[in-house]
Every structure is written in C-alpha cells, then in structure tokens.
Amino acid sequence: MTRFAGNGQHGVGEYPGIRLSADRAMAKPELRATGLGYLLLAMPVAAVILFCFEPLGREAGGGWSWRILPGREQAEGVFGLVSAMVLFYAFQRRFWPRTAGEVRALRSAALLVLFQALILRVTHDCGQYFYGEAQWPREEGWLRSPWFLTPALAVVLLGWRHGVLLSLSGVWMFVLLAEPGVVQLVAAALGSMAAVLWLRRSTTRGRVLRAGVWSGALVAACVLLGELLSGAKDPTLGVLHAAIVIGVGFGSGILLLAFLPFAEWVLGELSDVSLTEYGTDHRLLDELRERAPGTWNHTLNVADLARQAAGAIGARALFCHTAALFHDIGKLQRPEIFAENIQGTSPHDELDPKESARLIIEHVSHGMELARKHRLPRPFRSIIAEHHGNSLVRFFYAKAAQLAADSERPEARESDFRYAGPPPSTRESGIIAMADAVEAATRSMGDAQPWEIREAVRSLIAERVADGEYASCPLTLADLGQIEASFQAWLAARCHKRPAYPQVEAVP
C-alpha cells in the first residue's frame, strides 16, 4: 500500500517518484510566471493613467482638453509604481505563497489595481473640472476619495490577503500622486484597512454597509484630529468634513453592492453573498434532492468535507461548500445507474464493464451541459469539469481485467476507463476532488474500523498524487497533510456509534 507521510502536523512527504518540500507548491512554474506577468502588465498602465496625463481645463465649447506629460517626474512615478507592485508580488510569494500561485486571482487583483488607479484619477480631476483648481488634492478634495471601495471589493471577491495588498497599493499611489501630509496618509491607510478587518470573516450585505460607515468614521476621526491639531477657528467646518467622509463611506458600501454583480461577471469570481444565494436556492439542487436522493446525500457529505478541509488550509471554505453542491449535477441525466441511487438489482450486472464505465464517465459532460444551460458561474463549471480529473474508474477497470483474464476477451485498456479531465487547477478544485473520492471510498467500506478508514484516506490521497492528478494544483504537501487530518476527523465523527437504547417495558 502506498503511504502518505503526513499527519497534519508536518508536510514533508514521499510518493513514488515524487519528493517535495513543504513550502514548495505543486503548481507548474509557468503559472507563477504568468501571474507575475499580469501584475507587470497592469502596473505600467496604472502608472500612465496616474502620471502621464494632465487635464488642461475646460474649453470654450464646454469640452475637456488633455495633454501628455513626458518628463523626469512622470518617469519616476511610473518606475516607482511598477517597482512597488513587484514588491507586492514578492511579499505575497514570501508570506502567502499559497495564494501567489493562483493565476486567476492575480489577474483579478491586477484589474482591481487598474480600477483603483482610475478611482484616484477621477477623484483627482473632479476638483479641477468643477472648480478649475490646478492642484490636487484640493484643500478638502482628499476627503471625498472612496478609500473603502477597492480593498473591500478585493476582500469580498478574492479574500482578505488580496484586500491587504490592494489597501497598501492604494496608499502608495496616493503618496506618489499627491504627496499627502501625515493626517491625510494616516486617514487613507485607516480607511482602507478598516474594510479588510471588518470584512475578513463575513461579507454579508449588512456587514458591507456597516464596514463602509465604520471606515468613514475612522477617516472622520482623523479629520477632526487634524482640525484640532491645526488650531482651526471654525469647528463647524471640521464637523461638516467628518459628516462628508462618513457619507462617502456609506455611499461606497452601497456602490460596492450595486457594482458587485458586474465585478463578478468581469472577473469571473464569486462573492460570499452570491455563494450563499446559490447554495440555498437553485433549481438544479431541488431536482437533485428529489430525483437522486442518494446522490444528494453524497453531495452534502462532500460539501461538508470540502468546507472543513478548506478551512484547515485557509482556502475559500464557503466556495468549496457551495461548488461541491453542484459537482455531481450531471448524474441527473440517468440517476438510476449510480451506486448511491440503486435500489435492488444493479443495471450494470447486464452491461459490459467498458459500457458501464462510459455511462459513469459521461456524468461530467452532462454536468457541463446543465451548467451552461442554467448559466452557472465559470468557477462552478471548472469544478464540475475537474472533480474527477484524469482518474481511473477502478471498479469497472478491475472487472474488465478479470473478465479478460478468465476468457479470451481482449485485454482492458486503462484509457477506456479514465475520465477526460482536465485535472484540478486550483486549491479549491483539488480539495473537492479529494473530498469526492474519499467520501465515496469510505462509504463503500461499511462498518470499517477507524484505523482502516485512516489507512484508506492516506492511501487514496497518495495514489492520486502519485498518479499526477494534482500536478497543476497549487497545493503543498503541508496542505495535503492538513486536508488528510481534517478528513479523518470528519469521518471519525460520522462513524461514531451510539449505544443501543435499552428495552424498557411499560408499567401498566
């Protein structure tokens, strides 16, 4: 039996032909290079937006004229911003390597940085357009910048780590563009980081609005402190500025919720708000519950397993839970041929093993058809396509090999009994694939002893890794050790037996 040297406490393991350290991701190097490329491509564009164009003023006809500013200061600004984003990526690779290998998240982060630059530029020019001022920020113009918006959007769609990095990049852009004072700099930093802290654990609609208000309140406190330190003679002006800032924070929360569906569509990401809606009310889930109750029960267990494992390694637990609910919707095409729904005689008893395997494998393509028909999000479609990878349908392959050995039938080919793939490409996809395999395998063991379940889980994960199923998946061996431990804890709880209730005769 192939063994996996990982107990959840350490992550260095050995597999046949594989030896990796705990801090080295399984993702291919070109994926990380592509992620850096997205950032390097986005930063010059953002720098040009910020530094190389300047509005000249309103023309006689009411239009707006611009000029390009090639010069030393502009070159320094572009270089400073690009170098800052290289440090952004290096920081992520050093301290959060698990997220640095996810290309889609890096692409989305790069687009959010561009959006952040656009917001700052719009804030920059509004004062000039309406008031004709040549310098930005105006005396109070920096107060009206929605510092809450982009970091909060990053937290909602990509997680709190990307939110921290978007917050830091926004403050750095502010420094390069406006050379703010201490009060303005502290206010910008607090306003953006408040969004990350408030939304780190929960991103419900009400919490988003409250986070906007509290973010504005922190900036307002900085405004009042600045007014106090400067010895302002008119306290009502400071109160007015504070009220404006709180209103901007609350308005930013409303704008975020209104803009969220469009951002999800553009970036191909899903917020916790959308995930909760998909997981609680969808026609496909209702059909699965009614037409394939065995598959529905299996799906619930896989979702619970995946959520617990994702939480153990810091992946998106709610996404894993919700996406796992949809991973087997392709079984709705013919639910009666799958073991968990079979009552009585199995239809596979009368079929050739190769034909049985074909019918089983087709549930992935049927799931993709249903996902496209019902317009499920792209991340869900990826989970459906990848949850079996290129794995082998072992039961029917073994049955075909046995029939070939007992008769003169042609020898069974592995390629006829393998899923078409692709293999898992993200941490969440890898977790769901493992949870699906582990739940199905341990359910077939019946009343197994706890040590037998532990060995089965360990062996199954090791075999999948040795087979190359997770070669494109940014999971480390340390992650696999923690996932294995969480699976074993969940399965131990499921296999817990209650003592039999004593039979008590009723007293007349």
Residues 198 and 217: beta-carbon distance below 8 Å? no
Over residues 324-369, the pLDDT tens digits come to 999 999 999 999 999 888 888 888 888 888 999 999 999 999 999 9
Does the pLDDT at position 23 exceed 80? no
Question: Distance (Å, rounded) from C-alpha 260 to C-alpha 397?
Answer: 47
pLDDT for 212 equals 85
More confident site: 251 or 503: 251
Residue 476: band (very low, low, confident or very high) from pLDDT cuts 50, 70, 90: confident
- Of residues 142, 227, 247, 156, the one with CA closest to residue 188: 142
3-state secondary structure of 13: strand
In the chain, domain spans: 29-267, 272-494
The percentage of residues in the chain with a pLDDT greater than 90, rounded to a whole number, is 20
Does the pLDDT at position 7 exceed 80? no
Residues 253 and 148: beta-carbon distance below 8 Å? yes
Q: Rounded to 5 degrees, what are φ and ψ at 409? A: -70, 155
Is the CA virtual torsion 212, 214, 220, 225 positive or negative? negative
Residue 323: band (very low, low, confident or very high) from pLDDT cuts 50, 70, 90: very high
pLDDT for 15 equals 36
Residues 8 and 465: beta-carbon distance below 8 Å? no
Over residues 357-384, the pLDDT tens digits come to 999 999 999 999 999 999 999 889 999 9
The mean per-residue pLDDT over the stretch 20-33 comes to: 40
Over residues 256-277, the pLDDT tens digits come to 888 888 888 888 888 888 898 8
The answer as to CATH 1.10.3210 being correct for domain 272-494 is: yes
| Distances, alpha carbon 388 to alpha carbons 310, 354, 442, 463, in Å | 18, 18, 17, 14
Does the pLDDT at position 17 exceed 50? no
- Position of tokens 């990095």? 165
272-280 and 317-326 helices, crossing angle to 10°:
30
Instruction: Report DSSP state, residue 409.
Output: P
- Which strand (E) or helix (H) includes residue 53? strand 53-58
pLDDT for 179 equals 67
More confident site: 16 or 374: 374
Over residues 52-71, the pLDDT tens digits come to 666 544 444 444 455 555 55
Question: Distance (Å, rounded) from C-alpha 26 to C-alpha 424?
Answer: 11
Token pair for residue 381?
Answer: 């479609």
- Position of tokens 């909060």? 152
pLDDT for 506 equals 59
Question: Distance (Å, rounded) from C-alpha 102 to C-alpha 319?
Answer: 15
Over residues 383-397, the pLDDT tens digits come to 999 999 888 888 898
149-158 and 182-199 helices, crossing angle to 10°:
30
Per-chain mean pLDDT for the chain: 77
Over residues 119-176, the pLDDT tens digits come to 777 776 665 555 544 443 444 556 667 878 888 888 888 888 788 888 888 887 777 7
Does the pLDDT at position 26 exceed 50? no
The mean per-residue pLDDT over the stretch 238-248 comes to: 80
Angle of CA points 465, 468, 469, to nearest 5°:
75
| Distances, alpha carbon 415 to alpha carbons 358, 412, 424, 430, in Å | 11, 9, 19, 22
Question: Distance (Å, rounded) from C-alpha 340 to C-alpha 297?
Answer: 9
Q: Are strands 64-68 and 53-58 parallel, antiparallel or unpaired?
A: antiparallel
pLDDT for 365 equals 93
Residue 96: band (very low, low, confident or very high) from pLDDT cuts 50, 70, 90: low
Q: Of 53-62, 225-234, 488-497, which gets the smallest average pLDDT?
A: 53-62
| Cβ-based neighbours of 178, under 8 Å, separated by 6 or more | 124, 136, 137, 142, 184
378-386 and 317-326 helices, crossing angle to 10°:
70
| Other CB atoms within 10 Å distance of the CB of residue 211 | 28
pTM summary value: 0.75
Residue 438: band (very low, low, confident or very high) from pLDDT cuts 50, 70, 90: very high
Residue 499: band (very low, low, confident or very high) from pLDDT cuts 50, 70, 90: low
Instruction: Report DSSP state, residue 426.
Output: S
